[in-house]
Each structure stands twice: as C-alpha cells, then as structure tokens.
Amino acid sequence: MKWILKNAIIHPVTSETFRGSILIDKGKIAQINPAERKGTKIFDGGGLHLFPGIVEEHCHIGTHGEKTNQTADQDTNEWSEPITPEMHALDGIKIYDFGFKMALANGITTLNIFPGSGSPITGIGVALKNDPSLRFEERILIKESGLKMAFGENPKSVHSKTSKTIQTRMATAALIRKAFQDALNYEKKADKEYNRRFEILLRVLKGELTAHVHAHRADDIQTIIRIADEFQFKIHLEHATESHLIPEIIAQRQIPVAIGPMFTAKYKIEVNNRSLRTPAILEKAGVKDLSLITDHPVIPIWNLPIEASMAVHYGLSEDLALRSITINPARNLGLDHRIGSIEVGKDADMILLDRELLDPTHRVLYVWTNGTLSYDTEKEGMVL
C-alpha cells in the first residue's frame, strides 16, 4: 500500500533535517517530498518530529523473561560449560515477552539479541525486526548476527562455581585460545566428523561471523585485541566501560565500540571507572563507530535514546549521539542498507515524536515498522 506522511520535521540522521513529506510504498521509503496524488492515503505529521526507528545492538529481550526473574523463565546464560558457540539466542526467545512491547512503545524497531556474558564464548545472537504483525520467523533480519564472547568478572564468577574451569582472567583467555586452536586443528583433519562448535569458530576465523566481545576493563579489551591479532579475526567491543582510558587504541584500530548500559551503579569492580563522559572522550579521540546499548533488562530499553541524551550532556556531538542509536548499530549488524536512517529504498521503520529524540521528555506518539502502524500511543498508552 502506498501512503504519504506529510507535514513533519524529518530527521533522516544521515543527512540534514528538513520539513517535508515522504512516500511509503510496499513497506519501503519510496520518495522524499512526493507530489500528492489523488487516492493516496495521507497521514498528517502535525509538524512533529519524524526519526528512523531506533536500533538496539545488544539486549536480552525474550531470553530474559520480563516480570518473572525466575530461572524457569531465563534462557540467557548456558553456563554448564565455558565454551558454547553452538548456543543460539534464537532458540531461547519467548516472542510474546513483554519486553518486545516495551521496546516498540518506546520506538525501538530493531533488536539484536545476544546470549549473556557468563562464559568466555557464550553463543550466537539474532537480529529481529520488532514488528508484532509478523510471525516469529518473518521477524528475523539476521539469523546469526555475531558470536558473543566475554571477558572479566562474569566468566570468572560463573565458572569458578559451575564448571570449575576458570579462576582467573588468564584461564578465560586460555580457554578462548584453545577453542580457536582446536577449531583450526579440526579443519586440517582429513576425515572429520561434522562438529558444529568448530564450524562456527571457523566462520569467525574466516570473517563470516563477527566476534562481539563483552569487556569492561582496559586490560580485558587489550587481551581480546591480542587474541584477535593472533588468530586474525574481527571484533566488536561490547560495554567497553574503560575504553575512555585507552581511546587512542580504539581509534587507531577502528574497532566498533558499543557503550552501555550507562545507568547502573558501580556494583562490580570492573565498572568502577564507568563514566557518562566516555562517548564524548572516544569521539574526541577520533572514534566514529560508536553505538549505545542498554543490555535490557540490565537497564530498561527505553533508556537507549536517554543514554544518547546524557552523552550529549557530557559533550558528545548530537550528530554522533543520534547515529549511535540508529545507523551505527545498523552498520555493526550489517543492516545499514535496510534500516537506521530515513532514506529512499530503506525499510519504513519510523517514529513520530512530539519533541526531539534527544530530549528525554519526548513522547513517542506513533511507531511504524515496514510502513505499517505498529504502535499508537494514544490508543495503547506509554510503556514506562
């Protein structure tokens, strides 16, 4: 169906803001400032602010049961053994979990869902379009969106108790090295039996799957850089809490970095240097590939644009702040050709707000996914 959204202040994110209209056709953004034709349905934006749907690069919605907090409803961490690349977040998602509605009502239209951080290698993530009108399988944007790995306190605290394989950061690094070495040895074998675990690790080594590495401390960040150099694979940093202590290393190597959750207490030693100034410090050092994450349910997903606001409060440019919750996470997921900005040819995932997105007092009024109205706040209420 063709329709026109007119009379809005349109913030494409990747280009200058303008007042105008857009034509949506077959779920895609078809034209900017189209001529109005008879018979085309028109939605009046009322002079309000139109932004692209927000992209969450790192959360646990659907695997970490909302409103229950019981083991029965939690499938985020398979911590029976330390190396489990064959786990897939897709297989643990409860698609009607309340978290999806919470995300949608607050304008988050794409969700990348990772396994947790309890093991050195925890498993594969999945990127979903947060469109309630689609069946589960249809919501999948990228079935295997990256291999989740983790350094620091979490694997230590989990596996010193469960599998008793890790006491120190050294063991975390050693187990990861061994896993990749085993995969390489497997590849060389002439008459091998198919082993999914090794096949996944080989895909990382061949550059077909990116390693998304949970690391807080600067030394943990440098350990994974060292290992990635040894085995020649691509990494994205997740959390990177102390990255502002080594911004030149991140900038020089152009490693994509996902900062957050920014709003928790300093409850672990490895997050003691958390600062709301980190994004601004990284930008100043020349880091461009910055995204922000909530790690929902660690902090509620409605905080994603508010993290961008607070980063601006501490000196991040508004341009990078907006990119860090839209086009940058889209690019990190390999989805920037489809989502993350308002451009012709992209999915019509859009949100209409009464104030600018970076103003945390804004209300999300309407959310469209694939050109269809998915959330009407007046009818369904705010979720926060």
Contacts with another protein, residue ranges (CB under 8 A) = 64, 66-70, 98-99, 102, 157, 263-269, 272, 276, 296-303, 306, 309-310, 312-313, 358-363, 381-384
The tokens describing 170, both together, are 């050294």
Kindly state the smallest distance separating residue 362's Cβ from another protein, in Å.
Answer: 7
Number of H helices, E strands in the chain: 12, 18
Choice between 54 and 228, CB closer to another protein: 54
Yes or no: say if 265 and 248 are a contact pair by the CB < 8 Å rule. Answer: no
Sequential DSSP letters for 219-234: HHHHHHHHHHHHHT--
Kindly state the smallest distance separating residue 202's Cβ from another protein, in Å.
Answer: 36
Choice between 194 and 267, CB closer to another protein: 267
Kindly state the smallest distance separating residue 26's Cβ from another protein, in Å.
Answer: 33
SS3 384: coil
Kindly state the smallest distance separating residue 162's Cβ from another protein, in Å.
Answer: 17
| Burial (CB count <10 Å: 0-12, 13-18, 19+), residue 320 | buried
Choice between 144 and 153, CB closer to another protein: 153
Choice between 164 and 361, CB closer to another protein: 361
Kindly state the smallest distance separating residue 164's Cβ from another protein, in Å.
Answer: 19
The tokens describing 119, both together, are 């093991």
Choice between 176 and 358, CB closer to another protein: 358
Give dist(CA 365, CA 225) in Å, integer: 43
Kindly state the smallest distance separating residue 307's Cβ from another protein, in Å.
Answer: 10
Helix ranges (DSSP H) in 206-338: 218-231, 247-253, 278-284, 304-313, 318-323, 327-332
Q: Give the bridge partners for 43, in sequence order.
A: 5
| Burial (CB count <10 Å: 0-12, 13-18, 19+), residue 243 | buried
- Residue 32 per-residue DSSP state: E
Choice between 241 and 341, CB closer to another protein: 241
Choice between 306 and 351, CB closer to another protein: 306
Kindly state the smallest distance separating residue 206's Cβ from another protein, in Å.
Answer: 37
